[in-house]
Amino acid sequence: MVTTELRRDPITGRSVLIDLTAQPHPHDFVLEPVRLDDAPAECPFCEGREADAGPELLAWREGGPANTPGWSVRVVANRRPMLRIEGGQDRRVEGVFESRDGLGAHEVVIETPMHDQAVHRLDADRLWRVLWAWRTRLQDLKRDARFAAAVVFKNHGRAAGARLDHSHSQIAAYPIVPAALDEKVRGAGEHYGRTGRCVFCDLTAQELTDGRRTVSDTLSIIAIAPFASRVPFEAWLLPRDHAPRFEEVSDATLEAMAVILKDVMARVDWALERPAYNLVLHTAPFSGDADAGFHWHLEIIPRVTRWSGLEWGSGVPRNPVSPEEAARALRAVAIG
Ligand SMILES: [Zn+2]
Ligand SMILES: [Zn+2]
Ligand SMILES: [Zn+2]
């Protein structure tokens, strides 16, 4: 019986090693349950401390003026932005070196006014508002001709890079197409050039037929454990029909996404006992050049393994849990 397998990601072409030589050892996993404790007095994201988080760029409010309590989702500029809205677009070239100003946008989406509420515990209609905030901000950032692409991401727990416990996600817009997105755009473009089809559509169709890696399913969105999962319990959420960009999805698709995202996050949370995780939204670059072959999607990346010299040296992650087993375990979680 083959217990290790090199699997190739159909989009990026990158390989992972699914290694089932031994049952995963406890030391393969970093299980540090994320706890959302009482709000520290200085949490800037808690309701009532709007001034500390900064002026809002967008909010979903039941009432009340901007920058006061009464919101359910609130978007502000990051107070310590890694990319700044002021700056030039010019490239500087010096021999083999190329640089440019750290121009861009870096925004924070405060997902709930309540400090101790994890995002998967929000009602689906409140989670819908978080997705609505992502969509609205992406639409706005896209209008800035200086930006080439944006990614939305979420860090949950220290092991996933979160500095603050209070549930939030971030939006970063770049003057370039950042590497992780660019790699997918190129891989998808190559598949499109060869076959005339979107690789994400092909993979979604295949997964729906196969079923072994399906985690959850709605009429419009499917959740799978990807064939070449880089980490245990990695999950991707993909619209079933071809759609290059998240910022153009309908309210109904946002609704379906909120339902399935809550469902899958709750399953991962239960199966891995409140793991740290990252969430990544990939939407096509703003130029539109990649739209025929690119397909927006969301990735859930539990941070329960540590990458060693093996991963950094080879670029081939070793994953001790097969995606089929992860999908089976996630499907088995009783949600209720
Ligand atoms: Zn808070
Ligand atoms: Zn597609
Ligand atoms: Zn992606």
Instruction: Indicate whether 27 belongs to any domain.
Output: no
Instruction: Indicate whether 104 belongs to any domain.
Output: yes
Residue 43 Cα to ligand 1 middle (Å):
5
Integer Cα distance of 336 and 329 in angstroms = 16
Q: Find tokens 């996993």 and name the residue.
A: 29
Residue 41 Cα to ligand 1 middle (Å):
8
Residue 163 Cα to ligand 2 middle (Å):
35
Instruction: Indicate whether 24 belongs to any domain.
Output: no
Q: Are 77 and 106 in contact (CB under 8 A)?
A: yes
User: Structural domain of residue 271, as residue ranges?
Assistant: 42-79+96-332
Instruction: Indicate whether 123 belongs to any domain.
Output: yes
Residue 168 Cα to ligand 3 middle (Å):
20
Residue 156 Cα to ligand 1 middle (Å):
14
Q: Does the pTM exceed 0.75? A: yes
Q: What is the CATH number of the domain that holds 67?
A: 3.30.428.10
Residue 183 Cα to ligand 3 middle (Å):
9
Name the closest ligand to CA 38: 1
Instruction: Indicate whether 66 belongs to any domain.
Output: yes
Instruction: Indicate whether 317 belongs to any domain.
Output: yes
Residue 248 Cα to ligand 1 middle (Å):
31
Instruction: Indicate whether 15 belongs to any domain.
Output: no
Residue 158 Cα to ligand 2 middle (Å):
34
Residue 181 Cα to ligand 3 middle (Å):
7
- Token duo for residue 63: 């009432």
Name the closest ligand to CA 178: 3
CB hemisphere CA count around 32 (13 angstroms): 11
Q: Find tokens 């092909």 and name the residue.
A: 202
Residue 246 Cα to ligand 3 middle (Å):
12
Q: What does 139-195 look like in DSSP terms, one character per residue?
A: HHHHT-TT--EEEEEEEESGGGT-S--S-EEEEEEESS--HHHHHHHHHHHHHHHHH
Give pLDDT tens digits along the chain (336 positions): 568 999 999 999 999 999 877 666 656 677 778 887 767 778 999 999 999 999 999 999 988 899 999 999 999 999 888 888 887 888 899 999 999 888 999 999 999 999 999 988 999 999 999 999 999 999 999 999 999 999 999 999 988 988 889 999 999 999 999 999 999 999 999 999 999 999 999 999 999 999 999 999 999 999 999 999 999 999 999 999 999 999 999 999 999 999 999 999 999 999 999 999 999 999 999 999 999 999 999 999 999 988 889 899 999 999 999 999 999 999 999 886
Report the domain count for the chain.
1
Among candidate residues 206, 57, 191, 79, the one with its CA nearest the CA of residue 134 = 57
Name the closest ligand to CA 111: 1
Instruction: Indicate whether 29 belongs to any domain.
Output: no
